[in-house]
Amino acid sequence: MKKSKPGARKPSPAQAKPNPATKRSAVRKKAADEIVPVRSDASRAMLSEVRARIDGIDQTIQELIAERAEKARQVGKAKGAAKAAIDYYRPEREAQVLRRVVDRNEGPLTDEVLVRVFREIMSACLAQQEPLKVGYLGPEGTFSQQAVYKHFGHSAHGLPLTTIEEVFQEVESGAADFGVVPVENSGQGTIQSTLDMFLTSPLKICGEVELRVHQYLLSRTGHIEDVERVYAHAQSLAQCKTWLRQHLPQAEKQSLASNAEAARRARNADDSAAIAGKSAAHVYGLKVIAGPIEDRPDNTTRFLVVGRELFPPSGNDRTSVLVYVKDKPGALFNVLRPLAEHGLSMNRIESRPAHQGLWRYAFFIDFGGHVEDEAVQAALKEIARDASEIKILGSYPCAIL
């Protein structure tokens, strides 16, 4: 007979003959032990020591944030008798602060995470005066709303508007301090309607935001078998074309003004789904069927921040101009040559009908530098000699992450 260990109790008849229920609960206990391991006294002491240290660090961080907020308030006062948040806002300074955060970073947190944290701190410091009002293509839950918070932080007050035109109008009228509008997607190219607004609007470009766009298929039931119709903005349908062809070849595809509008419609019918960002699932009470479903994993949308004035250089800027060329040989070459000769690197050129007579074109050109830079001023002077008109749309800090 086997000797039992000292102190071991004699097995009860029930234990002697293990029944399946006991076995199951033993398995459950093992799993629970793996998740919450029983700690030794030494590791418990270490845990509370580290937590005490974290408490101390949190207190220091909090004191420093309060001190920083106070200093930001002093800077605000030094700016004079300003009346609104926009009078305190300095995008060039914010870009410099965030670039320094990136330069200093040695981990373990990523640049993206640290930039987000510091963006929120600056956003809160600025909102001490009054939050910025920022118009975007709504309703809530759109990627434009995400771009607003990425650029201005969550202390800004987002104003959901129904069209890109309305975003421009609200900023022009002063009802919003800034507007955020999509301008191009890495896979789908330019959003023409945004570019065309600059042909007539007096607004300036004050910033750019790059947003990694992840698309999800959302519905009320959460079952792909129920889906007979897919709603989305035309750009989102295009970004998910391959996935839709493979998984929902029979479903009707319907484009709407925004993905959030699509989510709103999908909320009302079991046989409909929407393509939208994950946050729309939360906002509209939908379930995620699948995602990310965009065809390209690096799918990124670039947004422009529009405002009523230009800001000084940040040290790493981009300038956007609109050039109307004369109808003569080499006209475009004469626009581009000065940029090259003054060492300005051109990132983008786009031609659009000028809305000034038949077959006349305007060129939207983006290049590195700020209008206050000598090289940029010299190049623009030379371009102006050959162009029939040149309009400076803005000089603004290059997107930070």
- 72 scored as a contact of ligand PRE (CB under 6 A): yes
**CB of 135 within 8 A of CB of 112?**
no
Nearest distance from C-beta of residue 374 to ligand PRE, angstroms: 25
Rounded least distance, CB 132 to ligand PRE, Å: 9
Q: Nearer to ligand PRE by C-beta: 88 or 149?
A: 88
Residue type present at position 7: G
Q: Rounded to the nearest whole angstrom, what is the least distance from the CB of residue 73 to ligand PRE in the complex? A: 9
Total number of residues that touch ligand PRE (CB under 6 A): 12
Least CB distance to ligand PRE at residue 76 (A): 6
φ, ψ of residue 369 in degrees (nearest 5): 120, 170
**Using an 8 Å Cβ cutoff, are 395 and 317 in contact?**
yes
Could you say which residues in the range 97-126 bind ligand PRE, by CB under 6 A? Answer: 97, 122, 125-126
Give yes or no for residue 94 binding ligand PRE (CB under 6 A): yes
CB of 64 vs ligand PRE, minimal distance in Å = 13
Per-residue contact flags (x/-) with ligand PRE for residues 31 to 70, judged by CB under 6 A:
----------------------------------------
Nearer residue to ligand PRE within complex by CB, 291 or 307: 307
List binders of ligand PRE among 302-331 (CB under 6 A).
Answer: none
CA–CA distance, 85 with 124 (Å, rounded to integer): 11
Q: Which residues bind ligand PRE (CB under 6 A)?
A: 72, 75-76, 88-90, 93-94, 97, 122, 125-126
